[in-house]
Amino acid sequence: LGAVQKTVNISTGKLATRICCSQQTASRHLKEIEELGLIRRTITLDGTEVSITDRGFEELVKIYLNLKTTIEGPPSEIVIEGSVFSGFNDGAYYMSRNGYQSQIEESLSFSPYPGTLNIKLNRKNIKAAKELEMLPSILIKGFKKGKRHFGDAKCYPATINDDTEGAVIFIERTHYDDSALQVIAPIYLRSRLDLRDGDKVTIRVSTSRFIPT
Amino acid sequence: LGAVQKTVNISTGKLATRICCSQQTASRHLKEIEELGLIRRTITLDGTEVSITDRGFEELVKIYLNLKTTIEGPPSEIVIEGSVFSGFNDGAYYMSRNGYQSQIEESLSFSPYPGTLNIKLNRKNIKAAKELEMLPSILIKGFKKGKRHFGDAKCYPATINDDTEGAVIFIERTHYDDSALQVIAPIYLRSRLDLRDGDKVTIRVSTSRFIPT
DNA sequence: ATTACTAGTAGTCGAGTAT
DNA sequence: TATACTCGACTACTAGTAA
C-alpha cells in the first residue's frame, strides 16, 4: 500500500479485508511484525500509521532477489559501486590469520595482502551486494585458534576499478553491517589504485565464472 | 532448488531440513501444493521428482512482480511483443456493446473500432503483460443487459507498432488465457498496419501517463 | 470510530508407525 | 531406505467485548 516509501494510514479492519482474515488477526499480525522490528506503528484515532523499517525492507529485498534469480535466471555480471572508507582495521587482523590465508591461496589462486579495502554502499548498492551474496560462493571455512573462534567467509572473485583482480569477501563475524563491503586482493589496493577515503570504487563480479550453466 | 527449469529429485526428509519442519509436514505440503496444481510430483524409490507447473510458475511471477514494483518502483515503460492471431471474434461482440463503448469514449477519448486485435504471447511477454496488469488501470465498469452479465474491464493506453494510439484491454470474462492479449483502437488495426495472422506486433505502454509520481 | 484482550474453537504440526 | 496415515498436542484463528 505504499508503506515502503511513506507512512501509510490503514485501519486493522480494512487491512483484514485485504488479507482475508479477521480484524483481530490483522491487528495481532501488525503488532507481531512491529515486535520483530520490521515495521513502525503508531495508533491514531482513525486507524494505524504504518511504515517499513530498514530491517523490514531488507527482508523484502531478500525475498525479491531470491525470486528474481529463480525467475529471470542469475545475472551474468553484478556491478557494485561505493566509496572507500577506513574501518577499524580489523580486516587486516583477519586477513593475516594463517587459517584464512592458506585457504584463499588455494581457492582464489592468490596470496591476499594482509588487509581489506572497506567500501561504503548506498541503498541501491546494498541491494546489489545482497544479490551477490545470494549466489553460490567460494567458501572459506572458519577455524579455532586457542579460545578465539574465526567464522566462515564467502568469496566472490571480482575486478576492482577494471584494473586489479581480487575478491569480495563476506566474513561471518565482521559482516554485521549491510552498508559496507570488504575487498581483498594480492596487492595493497590503496596504493595500486591511488585510493583515499571517499574515493569511488567500482567492483565488477562476473557471475558466469562460478555458476554452472 | 532448480525445479523451475527442470525436474528435481528431493526426499521429503531433506526438504524438511531445508524449510525447517518435520518430514511429515514437508510431505504433506508437497502433496497439498500438488493438489492445488502448482507442482508435478512423482514418487520414486529414493525420493520425489518435483517440477513446477505453468500455474505454479505464474503464481511465483505474480509475487515477484508485486515485490519488483514496490522495491524498484514502477517501470516507466512496458513493451510487449507478440504475434497476431484470430480469436473467436468475441472481442467484436464485446466492443460493440454500448455499455463498454460509451465508457471507453469518455476514458480513453476515442471511439473504439468494434473488434479487438488478438496478440499471442510467449513466456517472456506473458510476464510483461502481468507486470502491466499489476499497475493501476483505467477501469471500465461492467453492466447487465437483460440476463447477460458483462464483466469489468481494465484499460492501459498503448502505442501499437509505434504508429497507432490504442489501448490494451483486459476484459474480466474473456481474460481466461494469460498467453493472449487484446488491443483496441479507434480504427481497424489489421488494415491500418497491414497485419495478417502470425505477424509480429509491438505494444508500448508508457506507465508514467497514469501513475502518480 | 478505532485497537486489542479473553475465551473457545478450528487448524496445523509432528511422533509413531504402516506401507 | 522412501512416502504418508492416524492421532494427540499445540498453535493460530475468530467471536465477543473492553478500552
Whether the Cβ atoms of residue B127 and residue B65 lie closer than 8 Å to each other: yes
Whether the Cβ atoms of residue B160 and residue B137 lie closer than 8 Å to each other: no
Q: pTM for the full model?
A: 0.79
Q: Please, what's the largest Cα pairwise distance for chain A?
A: 63
Whole-angstrom distance, CA of residue B100 vs CA of residue B135: 21
Q: Write out the DSSP string of B143-166.
A: EEETTEEE--EEEEEEEETTTEEE
- Give distance CA A70 / C1' C13 (Å): 29
Whether the Cβ atoms of residue A97 and residue A173 lie closer than 8 Å to each other: no
Query: What is the edge-to-edge ordering of all strands in the sheet holding A47-52?
Result: A8-10, A47-52, A39-44
Whole-angstrom distance, CA of residue A133 vs CA of residue A65: 10
Q: Tell which residue, A177, A118, A114, A166, has the closest CA to residue A138.
A: A166
**Which residue in the block uniquely carries the three cell numbers 563475524?**
A173
Residue A60 has its nearest CB partner, among B4, B57, B67, at B67
Residues of B with CB under 8 A from a CB of A: 4, 57, 60-61, 63-64, 67-68, 70-71, 127
- Give distance CA A16 / C1' D15 (Å): 15
Provide the phi-psi class of B12: left if phi over 0, else alpha when psi is between -120 and 50, else beta: alpha
Instruction: Supply φ then ψ for residue A39, to 5 degrees.
Output: -135, 165
For A205, counting Cβ atoms within 10 Å of its Cβ (0-12 exposed, 13-18 middle, 19+ buried), the class is: buried
User: Cell for B11?
Assistant: 526426499
Is the CB of residue A23 inside 7 Å of nucleic acid strand C? yes
Whether the Cβ atoms of residue A45 and residue A157 lie closer than 8 Å to each other: no
Amino acid at A120: K
Calculate how close chain A gets to B27, using CA atoms only, in Å. 23
State the Cα torsion B66-B72-B74-B76 to the nearest 10°.
Answer: -140
**Cβ of A64 and B67 within 8 Å?**
yes
Calculate how close chain B gets to A67, using CA atoms only, in Å. 6
User: Cell for A161?
Assistant: 576499478
> Over its length of 213 residues, how does chain B's per-residue pLDDT go in tens digits?
889 999 999 999 999 999 999 999 999 999 999 999 999 999 998 899 999 999 999 999 999 999 999 998 889 999 999 999 998 888 888 889 999 999 999 999 999 999 999 999 998 999 999 999 988 899 999 999 889 889 999 999 999 999 999 999 999 876 668 899 999 999 999 999 999 999 999 999 998 775 554
Whether the Cβ atoms of residue A57 and residue A179 lie closer than 8 Å to each other: no
Nearest CA in chain A to B213: A5
The beta strands (E) that lie in chain A are given as: 8-10, 39-44, 47-52, 77-85, 117-120, 138-140, 143-145, 148-150, 153-160, 164-171, 180-184, 200-206
Whole-angstrom distance, CA of residue B32 vs CA of residue B37: 9
Q: Give bridge partners of residue A81 from the DSSP assignment.
A: A202
Nearest nucleotide to B25 by CA–C1' distance?
C13
Whole-angstrom distance, CA of residue B114 vs CA of residue B185: 9
Q: Tell which residue, A130, A140, A162, A150, has the closest CA to residue A62.
A: A130
Calculate how close chain B gets to A30, using CA atoms only, in Å. 19
Nearest CA in chain B to A66: B64
> Over its length of 213 residues, how does chain A's per-residue pLDDT go in tens digits?
889 999 999 999 999 999 999 999 999 999 999 999 999 999 998 899 999 999 999 999 999 999 999 998 889 999 999 999 998 888 888 889 999 999 999 999 999 999 999 999 998 999 999 999 988 899 999 999 889 889 999 999 999 999 999 999 999 876 668 899 999 999 999 999 999 999 999 999 998 775 544
Provide the pLDDT for residue B88. 82
Q: Write out the DSSP string of A68-104.
A: HHHHH---SEEEEEEEEE---SHHHHHHT-HHHHHHH
pLDDT in tens, B123-174: 899 999 999 998 889 999 999 988 988 999 999 999 999 999 999 999 987 6
Whether the Cβ atoms of residue A117 and residue A164 lie closer than 8 Å to each other: no
Angle between helix B54-72 and helix A54-72 axes, rounded to 10 deg: 140
